[in-house]
Amino acid sequence: MNDTAADAGELGGVVWSTSKALLFVFQLLVMLETIFGNLLVVLSVKMEKKLQTPFNYYIVNLAITDMNVGISVMSLFAIYNLYGYFPFSTFVCGYWVWSDYTMTFESVFTLMTISIDRFWSVTWSTHYRNTYSVKKCLILLGLTWCVVNTIWLPAFIYDRVANAYAVGECYWDPLRNRYLGPAC
């Protein structure tokens, strides 16, 4: 979509255009839907006793990670797109990158844990019903968070310490970090 000089203007240090405004509004709507939709999931499990089952705690964990993506990742990405560069400090940049990858990995590991849980419940249903509890579910979720941080945190810290990014840049580039571990 080409913007002409007539429909572009500057406001608050941002050069506005029709396409940039539409993209920002779209991103804002998706972000709000993500936050409030997942907040409803968390609140419904918290408020309704019947929903407080071990399996639903996996769903709550997914909702929390997705809500964090909406709050931190999507909002900062919308601002990045709006300005055309990252206008915040290196600390906020680091939080953005950490949050983006951590929440993505945690969602994947939670989905993997749900798959294992469902396999266990179908394959060994009697054993599952007799031994599974909220405590075991919460331990498994805690383990997923530990595994995610064990995998991602060293690479993230290495990247933030070893690589200098220019002012206004904020990303994580795997090519800059290829010497972190042994070659496959």
Task: Flag whether 127 is in a domain.
Answer: yes
**β-pair partners for 15:** 10
Number of domains in the chain: 1
Task: Flag whether 1 is in a domain.
Answer: no
Task: Flag whether 182 is in a domain.
Answer: no
Angle between helices 134-162 and 54-68 (to 10 degrees): 20
Q: 97 pLDDT band (50/70/90 cuts)?
A: very high
- In terms of average pLDDT, the best of 83-87, 145-149, 153-157 is 145-149
Write out the residue range of the structural domain in which residue 115 sits.
13-177
Task: Flag whether 8 is in a domain.
Answer: no
Task: Please give the structure tokens belonging to residue 79.
Answer: 């601002």
- Asked whether residue 180 carries a pLDDT value surpassing 60, the answer given is no
Name which residue leads in pLDDT, 135 or 12. 135
- Give the type of residue at 32: L
Task: Check which CATH number belongs to the domain holding 104 and give it.
Answer: 1.20.1070.10
Average pLDDT over residues 86-99: 92
Task: Flag whether 2 is in a domain.
Answer: no
Task: Flag whether 6 is in a domain.
Answer: no
Output the pTM of the full model.
Answer: 0.80
Task: Flag whether 113 is in a domain.
Answer: yes
Summarize pLDDT for 33-66 with one digit per residue, the tens: 999 999 999 999 999 999 998 889 999 999 999 9
Task: Flag whether 22 is in a domain.
Answer: yes
Q: What is the average pLDDT score of the chain?
A: 86
What's residue 6's pLDDT? 42
